[in-house]
Amino acid sequence: MVFLPQFPKEQLLTQLSNGFVLLVLGMGTVFIFLILLVFLTKGLSAFVMKLESKRPAVATGKPAAAVAATASEADIAAAVAAAWAKANE
């Protein structure tokens, strides 16, 4: 195993400078990608909002919850009690 003090000083400085260049390139790439992503997201949001404003409004009927609520509370309570009893056997 080779330790850092065994390397010549010039080689250590070269490795540190290469590492710093790699760090700056990597962080710069990520920063540019994130900035691009923010602007593309804002642009796409504006585009979708513009399309949504051109679409005519759709009339809605009764809410689905009011139509689908046919079971009585007693039936629901019986089903919950049966499931609880089955789980605790």
Burial letters 72-84, b for 16+ CB under 10 A, else e: eeeeeeeeeeeee
Tens digits of residue pLDDT in 21-66 = 999 999 999 999 999 999 999 999 999 999 888 777 777 776 655 5
Tell me the pTM.
0.51
How is the chain split among helix, strand and coil, in percent rounded to 5? 80, 0, 20
For residues 80 and 69, the model is more confident at: 80
Name the helix (H) or strand (E) containing 55.
none
